[in-house]
Amino acid sequence: QLHHQSGGYWHGYDPTVTTSVSNSFAAAAFRQGHTFVQSTIDRFNKFHEFVTSEKLRHLFMQPFLLYQPGVMDELVGGMINRQSQSYDPFMTEELAGHLFQPPEAEFGQDLASINLQRGRDQG
């Protein structure tokens, strides 16, 4: 449980403190989050009731769903009500074969391969 502290905060600025992320960390450690991604995006209403589900491949580069009233709330509801995948060495086929898949195409890019190549590039 988090408890709010009423004081003890520092409001200054220290220009000697670096806020950057090392290239090796960004290239390797940030990739671990891809294993958590589900293959579908679920939508739930404000009563935490399931509304619908969309395959991730149908949503890449397709922001038009967000233009509809109430959809953003349902998407956030889906993120609140659905667990992520477990941390393991695998990723959903939606990322490892259908990443940024155009609507008329049978396949998209492969995020697993992109991650491997990124690791080779960065060392």
Cα(97)–Cα(107) distance, integer angstroms: 6
Dig out the tokens for 25 from the structure: 């960390």
Which residues have C-beta within 8 Å of that of residue 56, sequence separation ≥ 6?
Answer: 37, 38, 39, 40, 41, 92, 94, 95, 98
**48 annotated ligand-binding residue:** no
Which residues fall in the annotated binding site for heme b? 34
Residue positions in the annotated binding site?
Answer: 34
